[in-house]
Amino acid sequence: MPAVTCGKSRSRKLEGIYITHFMEQVLQHSSKNNGISNHEDEHTLLRLIADGLPASRDSKLFIKDLHFDEVPVRIYLPRVPSANKRRGVLVFHGGCGIFGSIRSHERICRHIARKSDSVVVSVGYRLSPDHKYPAQTLDCLAATVHFLKTAENYGVDPDRIIICGDSAGGTFTASVCQELANRRDIPKIRAQVLIYPLLQALNFNLPSHQKNGFIAFLSQERAVYFVLKYLNKDCSMKEAILAGSHVPESINLKYRKWINPDLIPEVFRLDYKPPLPTSFLPQVHEETKELFETRFSPLLAEDAVVCCLPDTCIITCEHDVLRDDGLLYKKRLEDNNIKVTWHHIQEGFHCALGFFGYGIFSFPSSSKIVNHTVNFIKGY
């Protein structure tokens, strides 16, 4: 049975949805008032909002800004001396690869460092569309390899390094762990934490896409829009991708064993309606071939890679279009005998983690996600 976290009442469960809907309206209103139309410069406003307010000083941590192989990082070291080498935690922030930053996850990283007595490294990877895909994943990979090689310089046991990421950061986490799975020249990643990750871009009509199609912040339509924006593609292809017209039948048949509504537990398929068949559009497929790379869609990795992955914690949220990506990856990992810890936040929604540490603006689901993450990390 999953570790399911339930809210106290239906009204409380939906509180986050109402507030995120309100904030979405504020975002759209601000965009119009600032002359931002057709989402052309929306990422600029999103970056400003996502960065939030600066955190206050922290007497329990040494905090340093460094570069790992030319990638900006911020490292959080507990001030209290440790008799043994500490575990290390790499954090890849979310934000669709377009926004988010070291600053946006400042409160989260500080909390993880303090509560788990770990050395935390927050990675400031380059953002799209300023820096084209796959610069984001490559930055995360470079910073990870550097940390694995130099961990002892920071009082970290190189055999106790964990990677953690939310949303697109979860995508980068899964991708980096896959790319390093069979490396023999560096220590192995000990574990990974995937918080409502995007793990595939073949099917945007899974049960969670239908159920949460109009949820604020990351609706079904916005998810595809952000995917195209991240890849610097023409967003007019959005409807074709929503319909699945970018996927040839041969690829659908090949990956049906891994991306299929029938693989999702029945309790998550209530009221699901299979979409109507659509025509394949070769031009759209040619324009979006990156969607079929395992670097972008880790669910497509072969079993020879998946079976070598580290212990994994997957956190899914009920009110999230990406919920089923996490559920499908959970099954893939378990089918390959990988140890999986799964937490499902019944009242949770996409972006809930971003509210952590903001007092009355922080939701119970925000704290639950962080607490589950800390407790998992402490097990290593």
Handedness of CA 102, 190, 313, 196 (dihedral sign): positive
Catalytically active residues, by annotation: 167, 320, 350
Q: Which two tokens stand for residue 253?
A: 């048949």
Amino acid, res. 138: L
Q: How far apart are CA 147 and CA 296, in angstroms?
A: 23
Instruction: Tell the residue number behind the tokens 């499908």, with chain if given.
Output: 328
Longest CA–CA separation in the chain, Å: 63
Q: How far apart are CA 11 and CA 19, in angstroms?
A: 12
Token output for 107: 């409160």
Please tell me the distance from the alpha carbon of residue 160 to that of residue 87, in angstroms, as a whole number.
5
The token pair at 326 is 């996490």
* Nearest residue to 279 (alpha-carbon basis) of 238, 234, 256, 248: 248
Name the strand (E) or helix (H) holding 318. strand 311-319
Cross-strand bridge partners of residue 5: 345
Question: What is the arrangement of strands in the sheet containing 86-92, beginning at the earlier edge strand?
Answer: 3-5, 340-349, 311-319, 191-195, 156-166, 86-92, 119-123, 71-78, 61-68
DSSP secondary structure string for all residues of 136-157: HHHHHHHHHHHHHHHGGGGTEE
Q: Which ranges of 151-237 does DSSP label H, i.e. alpha helix? A: 168-180, 207-211, 220-230
